[in-house]
Structure 1
Amino acid sequence: MNATHRTPRIALASALAALLIAATGCSSKAGDKSTDDGADGVKAGPGVSADTVRLGALTDLTGPYATLGKSIVQAQQMWADETNAAGGICGRKVEIVVKDHGYDVQKAVTAYADIAPDVVALPQVIGSPVVAALLDDIGRDQLLTFPQAWAASLLDKDAVQVIGTTYDVDMIAAVDYLVRTKGLKKGDTIGHVYFEGDYGSNALEGSTWAAERAGMKVAGQKIKATDTDLSAQVSALRKEGVKAILISAGPAQTASLVGVAASRGLRVPVVSNAPGFAPQLMKTPAAPALTAMLSVISAAPAVSSDLPGVQKMVAAYQKKYPGAQVDSGVLSGYNAAQLMGADLKKACAAGSLAREDVVKAHRSQTNADTGLGTPQDFSDAAHPASLKNYVLKPDAQAAGGLVDVEEAHQAPGVEEYLAGRS
């Protein structure tokens, strides 16, 4: 075929393609960076079609945080179903595409590459090491991401939002709690058992700063995620003469630490970051010791809270998933989904669901309040969204295995600490 015959056919094909794109109001392929307006005048982009908004979840359903991952996935699906029943977002149905990485960083990197071209935002990514490995890609793609991780190293990234406090802020609150309520004083030593990596190191930064400010010192014990017998750590801390112990690890490590300490007569107060507790611990032999010795510092209230928003969520979750455990993952996941939904609605009202405009809408939120805890200020990417913590205590009879013992408040010195860190 010669050029004179080929050119008109190319022109006709191009015209037809243009008409098809205009009719659908979305990009010609999921990964395209198209900014074509839809029929409703809303600017679209990856993950957004004329009738669908697709979100992504990189979760752990088969690894050490599988229970947490399942709770978050189910809670966010419940939010999506409720949202769709109420008309969706921007006249579009919400879909959540879930990928399981099993807490394996390489699997997560592969899953991100698979999912990223087809979603507008990520309301769930589990794991500090996972998020850390994806930061460059997330920034390049301008993909608004809510990690289920709270390391301060994840701050100051425009498209990444740590919801609530960071691990260091939590441990400043933990030291303050010990001084106020457990009689710790100048000259005392506090033990701190912590995971290697961003989670543990960031928590240790906070505890060390707060202890020095109070005239105390921290005896650190670094552990791996695979360490589940903390007998050696308990022995070392006993020799140090610690008056209290902080733990920034997982539920298995918390149970071992408290159980061993109690059995060896080291019955001192223990305070954990929120990821260090799971309600399943209250069905283990460590339950009596946990009830007697453990407190949990959390940016979110207990799911047994009397907050109307929390009670409504728990009732809806129990109805949708009969027999399922209601834990902190349910609250965390549902709260993140609601916050993401508010961002998407604000972006829609401004006329664009393109990724960069969803991020812009998110950063304009200065008092985001879902009724599930403290309001959030997302305007400064370098600053934690909240500085207030709840203090929780184990209770085997309560939903989620925890009850609130102190309402959310900001520990003294937090602003001073953050100013010195910047």
Structure 2
Amino acid sequence: MRKRVLGAVVAALALTLAGCSGKATEGKDGGTDEGGVKTGRGVTGSTITLGALTDMTGVYASLGKSVTQAQQLWVEQTNAAGGICDRKIELTVRDHGYDPQKAIAAYTELAPEVLGFTQFIGSPFVAAVEQRIDQDHGVVLPQAWSANLLGSPYVRVIGATYDVETINLIDYLLDRKRIAKGDKIGQVYFEGDYGENALAGAKYAAEQAGLTVVEQKIKPTDNDMTAQVSALKQAGVKAIVVSAGPRQAASLVGVAAATGFKVPVVGNNSAFAPQLLATPAGPALLADYYVAASTLPIGDPGAGPAKLAKEYTAAYPKDGLDNGVVAGWTAASVYGEALKKACDAKDLTREGVDKALLTVEGYGADFGMSHDFTDPKAPSTRQSVIMKPDAKAPGGLKVVRPAAVSPAAASYTVK
């Protein structure tokens, strides 16, 4: 049985879920078009409607905006090229502001109307409705990487899960001889699915390497990391893993630098935003901070990132670049690949799209690594790219270690 780490989120949403149960299964019946393609919810003779549940006003506002705009760009380009299966793509967006009740309400509103979701930000929120997603059969590609989301054929994680990613981050520190057997490492992490899944990876990596993990649990509303830095400094840790948001990462690195606590800090994929480089924490982030992800950064000179950066900048000239652009584009294009395969199989129902996604493998090499979606119980990859902030790079990150999977990450059993 897959573990659920929902805590207070489930309690807060219990009444909401009870009041909304059943709504997502109401709606229009499907049919078959003139070309023999079966259709269902979210699909008409001329359109395919997809949903996006994002955060553009909360903890992940900057990343959520980039993810969403990248997906809107994909929709525009796809439609300009003729659409998919002789249909135009429509993207219906809802901003939940990283608020649990708003997130669940938004899912309840859109689920009967869309074929599926190209994004759903927030591991706890996705996990809270995962049972309903499995009943609704609409494929969800979350902007969340908790291993607790694995196993469902309808919730598919794109990239390494937080636990695997954290193991690769710690391996980077070991490989660079920044830490060694017998050392203590700190971990500052969000309560809930994201942080606790990352912590599971850190504990496994520590066990394999003879390290000790010193824990500091925080809430998404905690923005001042002074107390956490003080505790970790007193504990004598030699490095810190931060599994939180960009604000928390900036505070942690900035406070550590200001107090003379010079240790490397590594963060999961959502623990950085380039806007941080313009804050007082900028110099500290540039000095000794590292981030992992399952794609090349948007500023990488490779063909995929370079082309996307050029097109995104042309579409949104007033907005900066960050890795949310790559993440959003990747998810939308994966969904598009599943739609094309479903069309070829003449089945654009929710079940047909799910079956099609299960045949997608070796996808995404233009962005640093290939993804395999044939096994719902596994992340699409165990590889991570390790990056370092760079003020001169578009998007603020440069690659310091190409895509790789550490021996510990390869042997780890994702639970």
Same fold per TM (> 0.5)?
A: yes
Tell me the equivalent position of 2:239: 244
Letter in 2 for 1:298: A
Letter in 2 for 1:114: E
Per the TM alignment, residue 368 of structure 1 is displaced from its structure 2 partner at its CA by 1.9
CA distance in 2 between partners of 1:403 and 1:333 (Å): 19
Tell me the equivalent position of 2:378: 383
Q: Match for 1:305 among 300, 303, 313? A: 300
Cα root mean square deviation, aligned: 1.2
Per-residue CA deviations over 1:389-422 (Å, capped at 9, x if unaligned) read 101000112111111111101111223211xx55
Per the TM alignment, residue 33 of structure 1 is displaced from its structure 2 partner at its CA by 5.5
Letter in 2 for 1:397: K
Tell me the equivalent position of 1:353: 348
Tell me if structure 2 keeps the 8 A contact 1:55–1:119. yes
CA distance in 2 between partners of 1:399 and 1:262 (Å): 25
Q: Match for 2:97 among 93, 96, 102? A: 102
Equivalent pairs, count: 391
Q: Match for 1:400 among 369, 376, 395? A: 395
CA distance in 1 between partners of 2:277 and 2:396 (Å): 7
Q: Match for 1:170 among 139, 148, 165? A: 165
Per-residue CA deviations over 1:346-397 (Å, capped at 9, x if unaligned) read 0000011000010010011122226223111111111111011101000112
Q: Match for 1:74 among 58, 69, 72? A: 69
CA distance in 2 between partners of 1:406 and 1:145 (Å): 30
The SS at the match of 1:146 is: coil
CA distance in 2 between partners of 1:382 and 1:118 (Å): 27
Letter in 2 for 1:120: L
CA distance in 2 between partners of 1:373 and 1:55 (Å): 26
Q: Which moved more, 1:297-306 or 1:141-150?
A: 297-306
Q: Match for 2:213 among 193, 218, 230? A: 218
CA distance in 2 between partners of 1:346 and 1:31 (Å): 26
Tell me if structure 1 keeps the 8 A contact 2:30–2:41. no
Following TM superposition, where does structure 1 have runs of at least 4 consecutive aligned residues deviating by more than 4 angstroms?
A: none
The verdict on how the C-alpha distance between 1:85 and 1:176 changes in structure 2, with shifts beyond 3 A counting, is same
Tell me the equivalent position of 2:259: 264
Tell me if structure 2 keeps the 8 A contact 1:43–1:354. yes
TM-score (norm 1): 0.91
Per-residue CA deviations over 1:90-131 (Å, capped at 9, x if unaligned) read 000000011111111111111112111111110011111111
Tell me if structure 1 keeps the 8 A contact 2:330–2:364. no
State whether structure 2 residue 82 is matched by structure 1 residue 87: yes
Per-residue CA deviations over 1:7-56 (Å, capped at 9, x if unaligned) read xxxxxxxxxxxxxxxxxxxxxxx954634111121100000000001000
Q: Which moved more, 1:152-161 or 1:104-113?
A: 104-113
CA distance in 1 between partners of 2:410 and 2:178 (Å): 24
Tell me if structure 2 keeps the 8 A contact 1:339–1:370. no
The SS at the match of 1:149 is: coil
Tell me if structure 1 keeps the 8 A contact 2:297–2:399. yes
Per the TM alignment, residue 246 of structure 1 is displaced from its structure 2 partner at its CA by 0.7
Q: Match for 2:175 among 169, 180, 197? A: 180
CA distance in 1 between partners of 2:379 and 2:266 (Å): 21
Tell me the equivalent position of 1:319: 314
Tell me if structure 1 keeps the 8 A contact 2:178–2:264. no
TM-score (norm 2): 0.92
Q: Show the 5 A alignment for 1:148-167.
A: 148-167=143-162
Identity %: 50
Tell me the equivalent position of 1:27: none
Tell me if structure 2 keeps the 8 A contact 1:31–1:46. no
Tell me the equivalent position of 1:255: 250
Q: Comparing both chains, which one has the higher relative contact order based on Cα–Cα distances under 8 Å and sequence gaps of 6 or more?
A: 2
Per-residue CA deviations over 1:253-306 (Å, capped at 9, x if unaligned) read 111111111111110111011111000100001111111110111112111112
CA distance in 2 between partners of 1:137 and 1:307 (Å): 40
Q: Which has the larger radius of gyration?
A: 1
CA distance in 1 between partners of 2:103 and 2:370 (Å): 30
CA distance in 2 between partners of 1:41 and 1:92 (Å): 14
